[in-house]
Amino acid sequence: MSEVAFGQYYPSESFLHKCNPAVKILFLIVYITAIFVGKNFYTLAACAFVFVFLAIFSGVPFKMLLRSVKAVLFMLLFMVVLNLFFGAGETVLWKWGFLTITKEGIYYTIFLAVRWFLLVLASSLLTLTTTPVALADGLEVLLTPLKLFRFPVHALALIMSIALRMIPILTEETGRIMNAQKARGADFETGGLVKRVKAIIPTLIPLLVSALRRAYELADAMDARCYAGSKVRTKYKKLTFGWRDGVAFVVVALLLTAVILLRVYTPAIL
C-alpha cells in the first residue's frame, strides 16, 4: 500500500507544478469529459498523446504514475472480465455455457480498459503535481460563484484538502498496523483470497481508531488556533494567472476541438 501514488505529492519545479491549481483542476475536468465523450480509439489516442505531453513536462517519473493504477487494479480487472465474457456482439469467437466472447466485446473491453487507465493516470498526475493546500485553494476559486447562493465553498475545499492529506498518512498507518500484527504471528501473504481478506479484517478496527484519534487531534489543534473559515480570512499565498496558465488553456482548447472533430467525423467503435 505504501507504493500507491494516488494522493501523494511529488516535489519538483516543473512547468506543471508551477501552473495555477484552479487551471489544473479545470483541465482535469475537461480531460475526463473528453475521455468519456470519445467513442473510438482515435479519441483515446489523442487523450493519451496529451497525457504523455503533460507527464513529460511534469517531471514526475512515469513509474510513479503507473503505481497509481495499483489502487484500482482489482476493480479494473473485474470490469474487464465482466465486459469480456458478458459483452454484447454478433461475431462469436468462443462460447461455453453462458460465457461468450465476441469480437465486438473484445474491442469494447480494450476500449473501456484504456479509458479507465487514462482516467486514473490523469487524476494521479494532478495530485502528484499539486499540494493538498493548493488543490483546496484552486477548488475554492472554481466554486466561488456558489457563494452567491450561500454555499460553504471554503468548508468544502478544506474538507477535500484534509481528505487528500490523510490518504498517505492512513496508508502509512495501515502498514505499521500490519507489520505489528505480523510480529505477533499474523499471516497476510499466504492462502487464498478469502483467507487473506479474513486476515486483513482485524486491521480495520485499529485503523478506524487511529483515524478518529487523528481527526480529534486535528480538530483540537484548529480550535486552539481559533480557526474559523470567515469571509475576512486572508491567504498567505494568493493564486495568480501567468503565461503557463495561458498555455494550458490553449492545450484545453486544442483537446476539445480534436475530440469534437473526431466524434463527428470518425465512426464509433461498435
Residue count of the chain: 270
Residue 112 pLDDT: 86
Report how far residue 89's alpha carbon sits from residue 93's, in angstroms, rounded to the nearest whole number: 10
pLDDT at 1: 47
What pLDDT tens digit does each residue of the chain (270 aa) get?
A: 445 555 578 888 888 888 999 999 999 999 999 998 888 888 889 999 999 989 988 888 888 888 877 777 777 888 878 777 776 667 777 777 777 778 778 888 888 888 888 998 898 898 889 888 888 888 888 888 888 888 888 888 788 878 877 877 888 888 888 888 888 887 777 777 677 777 778 888 888 898 899 989 999 998 898 887 666 667 777 778 888 888 888 888 888 888 888 888 888 765
Q: What is the pTM of this model?
A: 0.76
Distance CA 228, CA 237 (A): 18
Helix-strand-coil split of the chain, %, nearest 5: 70, 5, 25
- Cell 487523450 maps to which residue? 47
The answer to whether 89 touches 105, Cβ cutoff 8 Å, is: yes
How wide is the angle at C-alpha 136 spanned by C-alphas 132 and 141, nearest 5°? 145
Query: Measured in whole angstroms, how far is the alpha carbon of residue 247 from the centre of its chain?
Result: 23
